[in-house]
A and B are shown apart, each in its own frame.
Chain A
């Protein structure tokens, strides 16, 4: 078995045919991941004990001839902003360097109920704030495809481990593109489901009205299966949706002939020509599959970045107020007063990007500015959501690039925060509207850098999105 290339169905087949046991597979996956990790720094820590315990449960079920869960024996990596009981969860921050959560995130618990094996926690931008994974307190992640380049962010580690084959699938989080952009940079599938589709319970809050948990995988099938496992109503998250969770894997082989696809003109200007060429080649494939293509307009697109950086920073400044030296492990020593303790702990603990966003968020929420910034941004957000709602009266899906450019070099953009923010233009809108969206591999540039194509559909139509992605994957030959 080639551990780096395994998919979920291959693992299931191997376990049921008794070609390997879950413990053997887990041991080998951990060995391989540890050996490869110095190349990318994608894992922050491994959860060996917990992984082997989960694997033993699978082997016991198999020994009793019981049908194991849908993720039986599958090595999974989890972004280190998602809490794991008894397994250190740092959010890639000095502040939480030694934080051991007392409970599991719902997505984590559901993974294990489905017999998945969590082998480790992945590196990311601090508190999921960034587009390059260079904001981690524990060093950047290198792109496994091109080690002098970033893997994207903020879920850079979760994308890198799947691209590298050191996990079969992984969980990331997306607030403004943090799953799709690294998926596109690393050449893997990355999915941001509808807002509320997956419980946020146990996802460290960054911007609560925008935060999503979603899967990474090599194939569309594996993401569809993983999403089905983690999705669904959770009483612990009042924004989690009641809507039933269909079996996404059952629709993947369906025909996409006649499917109406919108190409928003605002997303095709300002592309690097190579990205444009790859995406246009991808669109050509969709056309050959019998999809009906039409140009559409999402007129508020140009205002999305401004809108997003008001809302996400406002929510972040409020959510991150809890890291004050009282409850979460780190406290600045030698502070004489309570207020000094707050200020010193936060000043020493947060990295530059977190501070920048806390400052901007505090500013836009400060007395006298609420109407001019936050309230205005919420109105613009309504317009952005309306753009999509209007478009979906005419089309079934929207196809765009994920990023204006492929993976850039480490250090290339760190000194210009606004330029870094602007690079999220194609992914931010889907989060603001709360619709499902994903990145599916769409070939490579001449230099060999992966390009991702984005598919967006109506609220709760993950099935339509997966169906199109799967047909594209088969026709384009980009799987695995």
Chain B
């Protein structure tokens, strides 16, 4: 067994995902199966192979920095338009500091 239900609960905590007991049970089995398949990578000899850090590293010229030019920002009103709760130009969230 590659992964236990306790580990699944721990990972769910890291991912900030509230999962039901049923989901924990199901994902344990799914992740176990996928991680077992992933073990296949251990068959490869990767000595001296560089990790790919950029997709077109060996290809033609690509990414450059954009011009340092002023652009009109999105603006407060538009940026907040999709917020579930906002006020006074801010995103509002549940209280995090007790006074």
Whether A317 contacts B40 in the complex (CB less than 8 A), given A238-B63, A326-B91, A356-B30, comes out as no
B85 to chain A, nearest CB (A): 7
Classify chain B: how many residues form its interface, as a range. 35 or more
Name the residue of chain A whose CB is nearest to the CB of B65: A238
A346 touching B17 by the CB < 8 A rule?
A: yes
Interface size class of A (residues with CB under 8 A): 35 or more
Residues of B within 8 A of A330 (CB): 84
A451–chain B nearest beta-carbon distance, Å: 27
A355 to chain B, nearest CB (A): 6
Rounded to whole Å, the gap between the CB of A224 and the closest CB of chain B is 20
B63 touches A459 (CB 8 A): no
**B16 CB to nearest A CB, Å:** 4
B88, CB-defined interface residue at 8 Å = no
A478 within 8 A of B: no
**Central interface residue in B19, B59, B60, B83, by most chain A CB within 10 Å:** B59
A385 at the interface (CB under 8 A from B): yes
Closest to A234 in B: B66
In the bound complex, do residue B62 and residue A377 qualify as a contact, i.e. CB atoms below 8 Å apart?
Answer: no
Residue pair A373, B38 in contact (C-beta under 8 Å): yes
- C-alpha spacing A434/B52, complex, angstroms: 11
For residue B23, CB closer than 8 A to chain A, the reply is: yes
Give the one of B52, B82, B83 with max A CB within 10 A.
Answer: B52
What is the minimal beta-carbon distance from B53 to any residue of chain A, in angstroms?
A: 7
With both beta carbons as reference points, the residue of chain A lying nearest to B64 in the complex is identified as A242
B63:A341 contact, CB within 8 angstroms: no
The answer to whether A327 and B83 have CB atoms under 8 Å apart is yes
Q: Is B56 engaged at the interface, CB distance under 8 Å to the other chain?
A: yes
Q: Interface 1/0s, chain B 59-81, versus A by CB < 8 A? A: 11111111100000010001101
Q: Given A241-B60, A434-B55, are A325 and B46 neighbors across the interface (CB < 8 Å)?
A: no
Measured between beta carbons, the chain B residues less than 8 angstroms from A272 are none
B41 on the A face (CB < 8 A): yes
Contact with A along B1-43 (1 / 0, CB 8 A): 0010001100110111111000100010011011101111101
Given A102-B78, A240-B63, A309-B38, A355-B27 contact (CB < 8 Å)? yes
Contact of A418 among B33, B55, B64, B82 (CB under 8 A): B33
Distance in angstroms between the alpha carbons of A236 and B40 in the assembled complex: 38
Q: Which residues of A contact B23 (CB under 8 A)?
A: 352, 355
> With an 8 A cutoff between CB atoms, is A475 at the interface?
no
Selected contact of A383 from candidates B15, B37, B49, CB within 8 Å:
B49
Question: Which one of A126-134, A184-192, A357-365, A393-401 is at the B interface?
Answer: A357-365
Are A346 and B18 touching (Cβ within 8 A)?
Answer: yes
Q: Does B94 contact A (CB under 8 A)?
A: yes
8 Å CB contact of B85 from A324, A331, A376: A331
The interface residues of chain B lying within 8 Å CB-to-CB of A254 are: none
B51 at interface by CB-CB < 8 Å: yes
Measured between beta carbons, the chain A residues less than 8 angstroms from B55 are: 195-196, 209, 239, 434
Contacting residue for B38 out of A306, A347, A358, A383, CB 8 A: A306
Tell me which residues from 324 to 378 in chain A have a Cβ below 8 Å from any Cβ of chain B: 324-331, 335-344, 346-348, 350, 352, 355-356, 358-360, 362-363, 366, 373, 375-378
Q: Supply 20 A–B pairs (Cβ within 8 Å), ascending by A.
A: A99-B82, A102-B82, A242-B64, A306-B39, A306-B41, A309-B34, A310-B38, A317-B15, A327-B83, A328-B82, A343-B18, A346-B17, A348-B18, A378-B53, A381-B52, A382-B52, A385-B52, A459-B56, A459-B59, A460-B60
Q: Which 6 residue pairs spanning A and B have beta carbons closest together?
A: A347-B18, A378-B51, A235-B66, A331-B84, A343-B18, A459-B59
User: Chain B residues in contact with chain A, CB under 8 A?
Assistant: 3, 7-8, 11-12, 14-19, 23, 27, 30-31, 33-35, 37-41, 43-44, 46, 49-53, 55-56, 58-67, 74, 78-79, 81-85, 91, 93-94, 96
> Residues of A with Cβ closer than 8 Å to B?
99-100, 102-103, 194-196, 209, 235-236, 238-243, 300, 302-303, 305-307, 309-310, 317, 321, 324-331, 335-344, 346-348, 350, 352, 355-356, 358-360, 362-363, 366, 373, 375-383, 385, 389, 417-418, 421, 434, 459-460
